[in-house]
Structure 1
Amino acid sequence: MTAEAQFPAGFRWGVSTSAYQIEGAVTEGGRGPSTWDVFTGQPGRVLNGETGAVACDHYHRYAEDVALMRELGIDSYRFSFAWPRVQPGGRGPANPEGLAFYDRLIDELLTAGIQPVPTLFHWDTPQELEDAGGWLERDITERFADYAALLGERYADRVPHWITLNEPMVITLMGYAVGAHAPGRELGFGALPVAHHQLLAHGRAVQALRAAGATSIGIASNHAPTWPASESAEDLEAAALYDTLINWLFADPLLLGRYPNDDLAAAMPGPVAEDLAVISTPMDFFGINHYAPVSVGAPTGNADVAATDGIPLPPGLPFEPRTLEGYAKTDFGWPIAPAAFTEILRTFADRYGDRLPPIYITENGCSFDSVDDQRRIEYLDGYLRALQEAISSGIDVRGYFQWSLLDNFEWAAGYSQRFGLVHVDFETLVRTPKASYGWFRDLIAKQRAVQGRG
């Protein structure tokens, strides 16, 4: 990226990770079991039977990883608290050893001049709460508010920015509707209460964090354009329904205080109107995770599992994801389409207007299995140019977090997909910066030089 593609003064550069994907140490320090510990122990759930039991061993090697971040030149690091490390059963007093670990991590970051940007929940529900119904039950929203208050009271004096949830759509769809992620439920449209309870938990967490002194709070929600497979009326209708369920079911309640249509509102549990007032508690920023657009058409009976990371969807759905032809692909099979990045940001600006707070890109990245990863460099260059185009058109984007610092445990795909700027040998745990690490480091340095900040 040349100096002509400048980002605004004060634009923040960071990387993202999540607890279960990198921490390991799942039985150490008083940590309780999570849904992912149980799920990965079930045969056939994860590629090659792999688990996050060790992952990148960040729990023991966090200082080494913070040193890599400092050398990279980032000013912000998005990580997640492991709920079962903080509250082993998801309720009651905090685990002192868990809090002490995050004390050490946060202090190490601050010493390195890096702002911690923690996410409260990145899919690792305490198993005890799941046994009581998990995200299908309203009680979990109370437990999450207590958890948020506990963390806010402990860390608000040192943590400037907070994220409540990561990608509520994914745990709704993949965890409860089709069963490809923990907790492995296959409820189809019966999973809709999971969406509502996550959104309500978010709103209650925003309120709890504010009461504890937190000043900058948002969410990390994944969004991408839905492209109709054709211009036929049937494909347009199917794509619109998919778009509503994947994008607007989650963003509209947060930013407009309503569900996209009356049918969805009627499908939700509890006093929905009262809940929406809590769900739409104003945020200080909106985090968008973006990877790739999705092509969707009317059902044909020949569902293309390649379009859903190889995960079959249940029969009888009123839409069908299709492989998007004509685009280069990442090693995960995701299409590389930088224009879709600009498109989704413009869609948000148009749809929400002055209801949209400043945006952070809380995840964006790609899987390529190479240390000399020139294709990742090409990907990042294209997507950052697309982001800069959106900013130049007047969209208020304040920062970019690359996914991810490290190769890590990629959920149902195990260790088969490498998203990191840093290669991790999962046998020896040796870290090796990739070519993209050097490219991203140089990009950040050039941007700061142009802005007069470094």
Structure 2
Amino acid sequence: MTHKIPTFPADFTWGVATSAYQIEGAAFEDGRGPSIWDAYALMPGKILNGENGTTSCDHYHLWQQDLDLIQNLNLNAYRFSVSWPRVLPEGMGQINEKGLDFYDRLIDGLLERGLDPHLTLYHWDLPQALQNRGGWANPDIVQWFTDYALTLHRKLGDRVKSWCTFNEPWCTAELGYHIGRHAPGIQDLPTAVLASYHIQLAHGQAVLALRGENVRGEVGTVLNLYPVDPATGSPEDQEAALLLDAKINCWYLDPVFRGTFPERALQHYQNQLGAKMPDLDLEALKVAAQPLDFLGVNYYYRYWVSTEGKTLQNVERTDMGWEIYPEGIYRLMKDLHREYPVPKYYITENGAAFKDELVNGQVHDAERVRFLQDHLHHLQRAIAEGVPVSGYFEWSLLDNFEWAFGYAKRFGIVHVDYDTQQRTLKDSAKWYRDFVGEQRGILQKAPQAKGIF
């Protein structure tokens, strides 16, 4: 069902989001060091079709036209991440000035176009040099990450609108160190639990350090969060849903807001791992609970939990196989505001992959248009009921390297021909441009930048 979307607040932030490894390319240029994703892509069978992010969307060279593109979508903000190995090839120590200068130019380019820079410190591309020392399982990484944050702040801090410490730490710990579907490809639950703990400490210490340097921009973090529903009213399904919620949502929310891990999940891991359970200093964990200016929420789908292996039938799904559940964004934001209040929330990612096809210079992605319309409708419901959501970043600006799926999944509202690097607005981009233009009171459609479309 397509809804007419009411007006959002006049000062609402409208943007798009990307991440460094997924779009930048230039993997071995200008002094950038290897990341864990460069190494992971070399492992046979890890990435679909043996693909990698060496070139990707070549944003490192095409950033100016990409910023023109964002401006021409009537947006007022851009969320991007910094490549840690581009700035610090060894993860620490010597700064790669060419790499840091790239982000210096990028931020200046954003400001020249009236776009607020929303910077994410870590979107999964750990320097391989640090992984060689244990990565997120090494307690020293708390200091390595804090030093990295300060390196960026001292160069860019006068111009960044918001600082996000981590993007989706659940993915870093669970997919990277337990399931092994993401870099570095480790499959060990105790290591994953330890990694998640160090991420929380690193978040807290980095926030403290930024505050200590009188950071001018907002400071927060970004979590991927999900409504979790039991398939039935049975005690088994109810308990399974509560446990999953504790492991994927509260395990990352509770430290940031309460300085603790949720007891249900902590007890579960202790029972499951026994003597292999890492020694977590729960007193030290309190550092994670620093006051935040915002919480970023990435919402894609809900979990539907059945202990009998039942699956949801007759629901719309994206090309990722994820249920399309727009009401989930309303439920999620209402629940968060009740349990984990902050001055403001951003929807830092929301979008979908579909089987888009470029035909005669056009991409008719009606499913994505409907996806955006329906999610924005339910987001506005939450705002109308008092949830302080201050911005929305569509994921993603460009089709890009979708991690273990390589280039097989297209999340962009802009189609990318990876052979020619030609960008083409999909119908969803045109709809988003016109919708945001109306919301912001920009009467005319923005002119299209020459040579991009």
> Under a length normalisation based on structure 2, what TM-score does the superposition of the two structures give?
0.91
Residue 450 of structure 2: aligned partner? none
Residue 408 of structure 2: aligned partner? 416
Alignment RMSD? 1.8
Pair 1:297-2:283 in alignment: no
Pair 1:357-2:343 in alignment: yes
Pair 1:122-2:115 in alignment: no
- The structure-2 alpha-carbon separation of the partners of 1:385 and 1:262, relative to structure 1 and needing over 3 Å to count, comes to closer
Pair 1:401-2:381 in alignment: no
Distance in 2 (CA, whole Å) between partners of 1:110 and 1:349 is 31
Letter in 2 for 1:217: V
1:135-168 deviations in whole A, cap 9, x for unaligned? 1111001000000011111111111211110000
Deviation at 1:420, TM superposition (A): 0.5
Distance in 2 (CA, whole Å) between partners of 1:262 and 1:447 is 43
Pair 1:221-2:223 in alignment: yes
Deviation at 1:361, TM superposition (A): 0.5
Distance in 1 (CA, whole Å) between partners of 2:47 and 2:3 is 41
SS at match of 1:165: strand
Quick one: which of 268, 274, 282 aligns to 2:284?
274
What residue ranges of structure 2 are gaps of 5+ in the alignment?
A: 271-276, 357-362, 447-453
Question: Pairwise mapping of residues 41-440 of structure 1 onto structure 2 (< 5 A)?
Answer: 41-215=42-216, 216-261=218-263, 264=266, 269-276=279-286, 278-298=287-307, 323-352=311-340, 355-370=341-356, 371-440=363-432
Letter in 1 for 2:285: D
Distance in 2 (CA, whole Å) between partners of 1:98 and 1:69 is 22
- The structure-2 alpha-carbon separation of the partners of 1:190 and 1:235, relative to structure 1 and needing over 3 Å to count, comes to farther
- The structure-2 alpha-carbon separation of the partners of 1:49 and 1:398, relative to structure 1 and needing over 3 Å to count, comes to same
Letter in 2 for 1:137: N
Distance in 2 (CA, whole Å) between partners of 1:439 and 1:34 is 36
Distance in 2 (CA, whole Å) between partners of 1:439 and 1:81 is 29
CA contact (8 A) 1:122 1:166 kept: yes
Distance in 2 (CA, whole Å) between partners of 1:39 and 1:323 is 32
Residue 28 of structure 1: aligned partner? 29
- The structure-2 alpha-carbon separation of the partners of 1:403 and 1:284, relative to structure 1 and needing over 3 Å to count, comes to same
SS at match of 2:204: helix
Deviation at 1:189, TM superposition (A): 4.7
Distance in 1 (CA, whole Å) between partners of 2:191 and 2:114 is 46
SS at match of 2:316: coil
Deviation at 1:262, TM superposition (A): 7.1
Deviation at 1:450, TM superposition (A): 9.1
SS at match of 2:194: helix
Residue 314 of structure 1: aligned partner? none
Residue 7 of structure 2: aligned partner? 6
> Under a length normalisation based on structure 1, what TM-score does the superposition of the two structures give?
0.91
Deviation at 1:4, TM superposition (A): 5.9
